[in-house]
């Protein structure tokens, strides 16, 4: 019979030193491939399994590994939507964190630490541990931790002492919560509160998660406000137009439209520019810049969705392309290997695939849904209405053609991305 998982939070509140010893024994047993007398919590056990499969060294000194230059950190801060919710995070976390000898850490979706604030004494300890701006805290780099593991499982996670995979983190307890884009669920980053094991409270998990949700609510308010502002600009412009037209923000979200059914978002080119552009489901359109977005004037006749054609060309290993056509135009986009693999799976499985199924096919790990969702969010930016989600699939009626790699002469054949249907 399997040993029951340890109630870490309760034991830590009663006997922090004793909890640390039990957790250390538990981790060493896992590293040695032995069953421990007390089982790890399921979220930790699954994380350890992923980390062990990835070959992370628990004794590796990762403090300086892959540290970003200051200029790169500055640029990432300037690009990150999390900069808008720093006041919410600071107000909700720092007053308590400072008193309780904790620090607040904010990382982006890539696991890079962008901001850290809090107790000066704990910040000095963080310097020795590698919790510093620009550091890479992905689970596959550092092992189980409050930033990287939270990003993988996409829910709040508290990691106590030796539940951390890296031995150098055995005196820390970290509590992380994801912050997602309220518009489409894309992971924006993780907010984490870290400090000494003995100073951490079981209620910290709910506290950090509630502040993360306040940050998401703030982002939602900002999005609605920006669309309202754009709508005020759009109203007089659309009133003078006949035919089909809409005003969208810089990410393609609709603020106002006329002469056409409502659609929440359209696919814009990667780098929109004024002029005539062909857009999926809309056909040939004229793009004109507006303050905060774009005026899109569509052709006289809408492009029926069943007229859309998608060609996924994987015949050239070094140049994988996606061509979308329909109505009076078409466009072609070169694909990364990962996007090509995901679209291949959706092409051969027209009934669709869940994030877990795609993660299993691509990474051999159904738990890596956060990576799949992030990549599919990027794919949907340029395919928009041609793709459904839950599960991910091409819309009914879209004609999809696949050009596979040509067989290599000889006994071996060129590999095809994704599973063979």
- Residue 409 belongs to a domain: no
Summarised one tens digit per residue, pLDDT across range 334-359 is 888 889 999 999 999 989 999 999 99
Instruction: Look at residue 393 and tell me whether its pLDDT is greater than 70.
Output: yes
- Residue 19 belongs to a domain: yes
Looking at the fold, whether 91 and 135 belong to one and the same domain comes out as: yes
Q: What is the DSSP letter of 119?
A: -
The stretch 44-49 carries a mean pLDDT of 91
Which of 298, 314, 346 terminates a domain? The answer is 298
What pLDDT sits at residue 420? 38
This prediction's pTM: 0.73
Summarised one tens digit per residue, pLDDT across range 278-304 is 787 787 889 999 988 999 998 765 555
Rounded to an integer, what is the distance from CA 237 to the centroid of its chain?
36
The answer to whether residues 130 and 116 touch, using CB atoms and an 8 Å cutoff, is no
- Residue 43 belongs to a domain: yes
What pLDDT sits at residue 421? 37
- Cα–Cα distance for residue pair 145/129, rounded to 1 Å: 12
Looking at the fold, whether 46 and 67 belong to one and the same domain comes out as: yes
Long-range Cβ contact pairs of 283-292 (< 8 A, separation 24 or more): 283/326, 283/327, 283/328, 283/329, 284/327, 284/328, 284/329, 290/230, 290/233, 290/234, 290/237, 290/247, 291/230, 291/233, 292/226, 292/229, 292/230, 292/233, 292/249, 292/250
Lowest mean pLDDT among 104-108, 116-120, 319-323, 328-332: 328-332
Length of the chain, please? 421
| 150: CATH | 3.30.450.40
Looking at the fold, whether 263 and 354 belong to one and the same domain comes out as: no
| 395: CATH | 1.10.10
Looking at the fold, whether 214 and 268 belong to one and the same domain comes out as: no
Long-range Cβ contact pairs of 99-104 (< 8 A, separation 24 or more): 100/195, 100/199, 100/201, 101/195, 101/196, 101/199, 102/193, 102/194, 102/195, 102/199, 102/200, 103/131, 103/193, 103/194, 103/195, 104/191, 104/192, 104/193
- Cα–Cα distance for residue pair 301/157, rounded to 1 Å: 51
Looking at the fold, whether 102 and 35 belong to one and the same domain comes out as: yes
Summarised one tens digit per residue, pLDDT across range 168-188 is 888 899 999 999 998 878 889
What pLDDT sits at residue 80? 95
- Residue 416 belongs to a domain: no
What pLDDT sits at residue 1? 39
What pLDDT sits at residue 415? 46
- Residue 134 belongs to a domain: yes
Summarised one tens digit per residue, pLDDT across range 406-418 is 765 544 444 444 4
Looking at the fold, whether 214 and 245 belong to one and the same domain comes out as: no
Instruction: Look at residue 161 and tell me whether its pLDDT is greater than 80.
Output: yes
- Cα–Cα distance for residue pair 300/298, rounded to 1 Å: 7
Which residue, among 6, 8, 17, has the nearest Cα to 198 in the 3D structure?
17
100: number of Cβ within 10 Å: 17
Tracing tokens 């596959």 back to the chain, one arrives at 140
- Adjacency order of strands within the sheet including 320-326: 329-335, 320-326, 309-313, 399-403
Query: What is the count of structural domains for the chain?
Result: 3
Looking at the fold, whether 381 and 280 belong to one and the same domain comes out as: no
Looking at the fold, whether 257 and 152 belong to one and the same domain comes out as: no
Q: Half-sphere exposure of 9 toward its Cβ, with a 13 Å CA cutoff? A: 12
Rounded to an integer, what is the distance from CA 318 to the centroid of its chain?
27
- Residue 229 belongs to a domain: no
Looking at the fold, whether 154 and 59 belong to one and the same domain comes out as: yes
Q: Domain containing 146: what range?
A: 8-220
Tokens linked to 302: 């809408």
Looking at the fold, whether 37 and 85 belong to one and the same domain comes out as: yes
Three-point CA angle 400, 405, 410, nearest 5° = 155
- Residue 59 belongs to a domain: yes
Looking at the fold, whether 331 and 368 belong to one and the same domain comes out as: yes
Summarised one tens digit per residue, pLDDT across range 200-234 is 777 889 999 999 999 999 999 999 999 999 999 99
Consecutive H or E run containing 224: helix 204-239
- Cα–Cα distance for residue pair 393/411, rounded to 1 Å: 34
Tokens linked to 125: 């300890």
- Residue 408 belongs to a domain: no
Looking at the fold, whether 147 and 47 belong to one and the same domain comes out as: yes
């Amino acid at each position: 019979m399997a040993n029951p998982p340890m109630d870490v939070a309760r034991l830590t509140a009663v006997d922090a030193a004793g909890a640390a010893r039990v957790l250390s024994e538990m981790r060493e047993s896992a590293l040695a491939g032995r069953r421990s007398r007390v089982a790890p919590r399921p979220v930790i056990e699954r994380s350890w399994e992923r980390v062990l499969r990835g070959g992370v060294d628990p004794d590796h000194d990762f403090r300086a590994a892959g540290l970003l230059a200051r200029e790169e950190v500055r640029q990432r801060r300037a690009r990150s939507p999390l900069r808008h919710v720093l006041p919410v995070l600071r107000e909700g976390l720092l007053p308590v964190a400072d008193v309780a000898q904790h620090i607040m850490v904010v990382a982006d979706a890539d696991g890079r630490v962008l901001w850290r604030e809090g107790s000066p004494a704990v910040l000095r300890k963080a310097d020795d541990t590698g919790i510093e701006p620009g550091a890479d805290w992905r689970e596959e780099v550092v092992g189980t931790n409050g930033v990287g593991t939270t990003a993988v499982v996409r829910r709040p996670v508290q990691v106590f002492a030796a539940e951390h995979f890296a031995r150098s983190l055995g005196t820390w307890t970290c509590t992380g919560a994801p912050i997602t884009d309220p518009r489409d669920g894309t992971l924006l980053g993780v907010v984490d509160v870290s400090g000494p094991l003995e100073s951490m409270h079981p209620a910290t998990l709910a506290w950090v998660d509630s502040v993360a949700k306040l940050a998401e609510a703030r982002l939602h308010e900002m999005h609605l406000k920006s669309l309202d502002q754009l709508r005020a600009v759009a109203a007089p412009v659309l009133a003078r137009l006949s035919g089909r037209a809409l005003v969208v923000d810089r990410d393609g979200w609709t603020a106002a439209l006329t002469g056409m059914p409502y659609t929440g978002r359209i696919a814009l080119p990667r780098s929109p520019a004024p002029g005539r552009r062909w857009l999926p489901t809309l056909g040939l359109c004229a793009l004109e810049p507006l303050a905060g977005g774009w005026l899109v004037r569509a052709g006289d006749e809408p492009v029926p969705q069943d007229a859309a054609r998608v060609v996924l060309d994987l015949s050239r290993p070094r140049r994988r392309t996606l061509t979308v056509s329909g109505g009076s135009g078409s466009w072609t986009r070169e694909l990364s290997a990962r996007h090509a693999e995901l679209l291949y799976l959706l092409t051969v499985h027209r009934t669709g695939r869940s994030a877990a199924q795609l993660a299993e096919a691509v990474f051999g790990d159904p738990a890596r849904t956060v990576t799949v969702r992030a990549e599919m969010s990027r794919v949907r930016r340029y395919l928009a209405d041609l793709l459904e989600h839950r599960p991910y699939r091409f819309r009914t009626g879209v004609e999809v053609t696949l050009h596979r790699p040509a067989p290599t002469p000889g006994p071996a054949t060129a590999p095809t991305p994704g599973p063979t249907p």
